[in-house]
Amino acid sequence: MLPDAKDFDELNRQFRWKIPAQYNIGVDVCDRWADADPSRLAILHVHPDGGEDRVTFGALRESSNRLANVLRAHGITRGDRVAIFLPQSPDVAVAHVAIYKLAAVALPIAVLFGHDALSYRLQNSGARALLTNAAGLAKLSQIRNEATDLACVLSVDGPGDGAVDLTNELTRASSQFTPEITTPDDPAMMIYTSGTTGQPKGALHGHRVLLGHLPGAELPYYPFPQPGDNIWTPADWAWAGGLLDVLLPSLHHGVTVIARKFDKFDPEEAYALMQKAGVRTAFIPPTALRMMRAGPNPAGRYDFKLRAMGSGGESLGVEALEWGRAAFGLTINEFYGQTECNLMIGACAQLGNMRVGTMGKAVPGHTVAVIGPDGAVRKPGEIGQIAVKAPDPVMFLEYWKRPEATRDKFIGDWMTTGDQGTMDEDGYLTFIGRDDDVITSSGFRIGPGEIEDCLIGHPAVALAAAVGKPDALRTEIVKAFIVLKPGHAATPELATEIQTFVKTRLSGHEYPREVAFIDDMPMTTTGKVIRRLLRERD
């Protein structure tokens, strides 16, 4: 979508949106390539033992058609939410393509979520179907009676606990399917994003969200694609960063996506994968880069084919930027966004759009400003809230069943991000900090509300608050401040028990890595926790 240009200013002048009247993500990222060249490689799936699966666009079309027919046979129709609870693998891509062609709504859920987090998302979304594996079924079994809207559960690991054997279903299904006709504004996917209060909100996106991502997804690797390009990210494809920054935009361009499931990110395994698969472009979140930086420098130890790298989800930092140049021989391009409106700010060293300490400039096609509480644009250098002007193709349709929250997200035509920043005279944006209580840890934006709700479920906890504590590796870690119920002693053993309680019910990235027991919780007169006072303790 980005035109050829000699510099960033020319790129901006030449850019124009091209949004057709009819558009379907599944047809775009799969069927049109399968029609042109069914043998073209869509996904290279690398197993931990070194084995590989090579999935062509022709195979992707056949499998997604079969799955679309299976879902339809189980009563899934236009607008129904279909949850995908699977690790990074070709199965995830097949599921997304099938759901879009069926005109249903894809609901990606990260596999690191525990049963409480899974239950909330299934209930709140009213999901009608769930695609998962044996590990997912084990979590589902603990809350199956709570997900009352589920009409079918399909397991890639065979039948069990009320799940149908997906492999058997696909074998019997027809490989022919006529995709539903959809418009750019028809719902396509819903991704839950953490908020400052209460439970996470479902950000509902239309099919146009992929087209809206293209300029920002191409910019870090400009020009993209180039002959021989492939792409890899360690980010979960259930996260907007993995799904909409890498998987879908790359398939749109016919670029091979490398899939590799990591139970736990390991820098040396990542280096080995990058060498073995000949990775040309990569999106690596800052936390993963910091973990890489903490070990031996890969320069000279591995034969990389990298030509470009992007990073986003949290601030990269100058040290990581400089390390990237020494380790990979290139400048890592940073970008910024959030689930509701992603990839609207970015850097591109190749085009001279790079100023150390900033996030870059507004990506072509997006109008970004720093505004005050009244919606007025701040002067250069003045701190305000980073905001994006509507309408915008990458912007969400609404928060699921939350009309008030949707309205509160806007000040006039400006969609607010909740992040404070500045813009200089040249248009470079600098991130200052959040004006809410969202915790950024290892690239994930974590809302304290869900954690606090889980903490309160522990029998020893009377009051709880979760805050972000600065951390050199993860940007922030979750720290819990807890007031105990009478009869319970504040011991290290209890702290560990509470940590495990949250970790198994929510996820490994949301549990509090530190627990502090306090006698009184600082609160306003209306009963709201004053998290600022808790953060100041650290």
Model confidence over 257-298: pLDDT tens digits?
A: 999 999 888 999 999 999 999 999 999 998 888 889 888 999
Q: For the packed helices 267-276 and 286-294, what is the interaxial angle rounded to 10 degrees?
A: 100
Examine the domain organization and report whether 43 and 119 are in the same domain. yes
Would residue 143 count as lying in a domain?
yes
pLDDT at residue 436, as a whole number: 67
pLDDT digits (tens, 9 = 90+) for 85-109: 999 999 999 999 999 999 999 999 9
Examine the domain organization and report whether 397 and 483 are in the same domain. no
Would residue 375 count as lying in a domain?
no
Question: In the listed set 402, 425, 455, which residue is the last one of a domain according to the structure?
Answer: 402
Buried b (16+ CB within 10 A) or exposed e, 470-491: ebeebbbbbbbbbebeeeeeee
Question: In the listed set 357, 382, 402, which residue is the last one of a domain according to the structure?
Answer: 402
Would residue 194 count as lying in a domain?
yes
Do residues 45 and 89 lie in contact, with contact meaning Cβ atoms separated by under 8 Å? yes
pLDDT above 90 as % of the chain: 81
Q: Is the pLDDT of residue 524 over 60?
A: no
Query: What CATH number should be reported for the domain holding residue 527?
Result: 3.30.300.30
pLDDT at residue 443, as a whole number: 79
Would residue 425 count as lying in a domain?
no
Examine the domain organization and report whether 346 and 454 are in the same domain. no
pLDDT at residue 196, as a whole number: 45
Q: Is the pLDDT of residue 507 over 70?
A: yes
The string of DSSP letters for 206-266 reads: ETHHHHHHHHHHHGGGSS---TT-EEE--S-TTSHHHIIIIIHHHHHTTPEEEE---SS--
Tokens 């709700």 locate to: 453
pLDDT at residue 525, as a whole number: 47
Task: Please give the tally of structural domains in the chain.
Answer: 2
Q: Is the pLDDT of residue 299 over 60?
A: yes
Examine the domain organization and report whether 354 and 449 are in the same domain. no
Q: How confident is the model at residue 44 (pLDDT cuts 50, 70, 90)?
A: very high
pLDDT at residue 70, as a whole number: 98
Query: What CATH number should be reported for the domain holding residue 289?
Result: 3.40.50.12780
Examine the domain organization and report whether 354 and 248 are in the same domain. yes
* Domain membership of residue 453 as a residue range: 439-536
Q: Is the pLDDT of residue 527 over 80?
A: no
Q: Other CB atoms closer than 10 Å to residue 454's CB: what's the count?
A: 26
Examine the domain organization and report whether 478 and 397 are in the same domain. no
Examine the domain organization and report whether 397 and 472 are in the same domain. no
* Angle formed at CA 159 by CA 154 and CA 160, multiple of 5 degrees: 105
Averaged confidence pLDDT in the chain = 94
- Give the predicted TM-score (pTM) of the model: 0.88
Q: How confident is the model at residue 152 (pLDDT cuts 50, 70, 90)?
A: very high
Q: In whole angstroms, give the CA distance from residue 513 to residue 166.
A: 38
Question: In the listed set 355, 383, 402, which residue is the last one of a domain according to the structure?
Answer: 402
pLDDT at residue 439, as a whole number: 84
Would residue 200 count as lying in a domain?
yes
Report the run of H or E that residue 286 belongs to, with start and end. Answer: helix 286-294
Q: How confident is the model at residue 526 (pLDDT cuts 50, 70, 90)?
A: very low
Examine the domain organization and report whether 348 and 466 are in the same domain. no
pLDDT at residue 537, as a whole number: 84
pLDDT digits (tens, 9 = 90+) for 153-202: 999 999 988 999 999 999 999 999 999 999 999 999 999 986 545 678 99
Would residue 433 count as lying in a domain?
no
pLDDT at residue 452, as a whole number: 87
pLDDT at residue 127, as a whole number: 98
Would residue 327 count as lying in a domain?
yes
Examine the domain organization and report whether 459 and 345 are in the same domain. no
Would residue 255 count as lying in a domain?
yes
Q: Is the pLDDT of residue 485 over 70?
A: yes
Examine the domain organization and report whether 459 and 396 are in the same domain. no
Residue 408 contacts by C-beta under 8 Å, 6 or more apart in sequence? none
pLDDT digits (tens, 9 = 90+) for 104-140: 999 999 998 999 999 999 999 999 999 999 999 999 9
Q: Report, as an integer, the average pLDDT of 506-530.
A: 82
Residue 151 contacts by C-beta under 8 Å, 6 or more apart in sequence? 74, 75, 76, 128, 129
| Helix, strand, coil % in the chain, rounded to nearest 5 | 30, 25, 40
Examine the domain organization and report whether 398 and 472 are in the same domain. no
Examine the domain organization and report whether 165 and 231 are in the same domain. yes
pLDDT digits (tens, 9 = 90+) for 444-478: 878 787 898 899 889 999 889 999 999 988 889 99
